[in-house]
Amino acid sequence: MIAFLIFATVVLLFVVLVLIARASELTADLKSGKVDYTNQSKWNGYFLLISLVVMFVGSAISFKVLAPVMIPKAASIHGVNTDYLFNLTMLIIGVVFVLTQIALFWFAYRYNESHGHEAYFYPHNNTLEIIWTVIPSVVLVVLITMGMYEWMRIFNPDNRDKNMMVVEATGKQFNWMLRYSGKDGKFGERIIDQAHVSPTNELGINWEDAKSHDDFMSDKLYLVKNKPVLMKLGAQDVLHSFFLPHFRVKMDCVPGIPTEFYFVPTMTTVEMQDYLKTQPWWQTINPESGQPRWQTFKYELACAELCGKSHYGMQRDVVVVEQKEYDEWLAKQTPMYAPATIEEPKAEAAKGDSVKPTAMLEKK
């Protein structure tokens, strides 16, 4: 490695020396007035034109190759609207980008320096200034208004369904703790202090609060199709970000500041698999599993905030099912709270993964 660095340093020093020599040569030529830029300018023009073509062809190819691999259609109500806004914005700025780039590179080619041709000095035009200020402003105001309207629709508490389910997700390095409120539909209180937060009770649940007795943890995020869900979000240590890409949900999880996100899943996992079955890329075989990609498709919960060295490992499966299947799953869940049994007056401190339901009660 050191040998390589020494070699690279020597080479770079050599390049610098050559450039200095070349620059002083050019300065001398400039002073003597015998420099002709016409030829250089002509080649620059050709290269710029080639760059333009390479850029557009390259973009088109990469789009063709990568588009099928991109995230599939939105599986939530608001997701469809945000996708529409995103695509609309991309379309408008895409058209402007293509036109301005063509103009930029074409002008550099078409009007390169040539003998007997003097550039026309055209410093100002009020009409043009007004046009290219007003049109983008109006377009931006329209796009931003549409975005704000959508944002308010997503986050307005009045738009929430009273029958929504509520799930709590707390990010920690490096995991998600998913808590459900159990049969009573109410979460037990949490007290974040040293007396309550412990390795066996990472969330600081107050076991004296009877509402906590049927709360349970799940290693997967189970949701019901067409059933609104309010995710109550938090973080235990550093900033995390609750990210459900397939539902177009993303919200920061901040220690000490509760956040939330309300949305309605519209496709079960199986329905999404059925849809992906019709998409060419998803029909290809996944080399890891040896099965078609659609077959092993899972909705995913990820952390979208670079929160530490194992940030990439903060993934959980999300399962969207019909109500009936959800109820069956619900019936199988074990509450975290388990009163100390008569034979064993002291509950044993459970070790290991806090997300697995663990019997814990230090009192009684």
Q: Site residues (CB under 5 A) for Cu ion?
A: 240, 303, 307, 314
Least Å from the CB of residue 236 to Cu ion: 10
Q: Do 236 and 255 contact (CB within 8 A), yes or no?
A: yes
Q: How far is CA 356 from CA 3, 33, 191, 272, in A?
A: 52, 81, 20, 28
Least Å from the CB of residue 303 to Cu ion: 3
Select 169 or 307, whichever has its Cβ closest to Cu ion: 307
Least Å from the CB of residue 170 to Cu ion: 11
Select 228 or 245, whichever has its Cβ closest to Cu ion: 245
Buried b (16+ CB within 10 A) or exposed e, 149-159: eeeeebeeeee
Select 308 or 335, whichever has its Cβ closest to Cu ion: 308
**Cβ neighbour number for residue 36 with a 10 Å cutoff:** 10
Least Å from the CB of residue 82 to Cu ion: 22
Select 151 or 312, whichever has its Cβ closest to Cu ion: 312
Least Å from the CB of residue 305 to Cu ion: 5
* Helix residue ranges, H only, 33-125: 38-66, 77-110
285, containing H or E segment: strand 285-286
Least Å from the CB of residue 125 to Cu ion: 52
Q: How far is CA 132 from CA 108, 124, 137, in A?
A: 21, 13, 9
**Cβ neighbour number for residue 218 with a 10 Å cutoff:** 20
Least Å from the CB of residue 239 to Cu ion: 8
Select 85 or 254, whichever has its Cβ closest to Cu ion: 254
Select 79 or 171, whichever has its Cβ closest to Cu ion: 171
Taking the C-alpha atoms of residue 107 and residue 353, their distance in angstroms, rounded to an integer, is 63
Please report the DSSP string for 23-52 in residue order: HHHHHHHHHHT----HHHHHHHHHHHHHHH
Sequence letter at residue 48? L
Main-chain dihedrals φ then ψ at residue 27, nearest 5 degrees: -60, -45
Burial class (CB in 10 A: 0-12, 13-18, 19+), 53: exposed
Select 264 or 301, whichever has its Cβ closest to Cu ion: 301
Select 244 or 307, whichever has its Cβ closest to Cu ion: 307
Least Å from the CB of residue 175 to Cu ion: 9
Tokens found for residue 66: 């990568």
Nearest CA to 362 out of 343, 342, 348, 341 is that of: 348
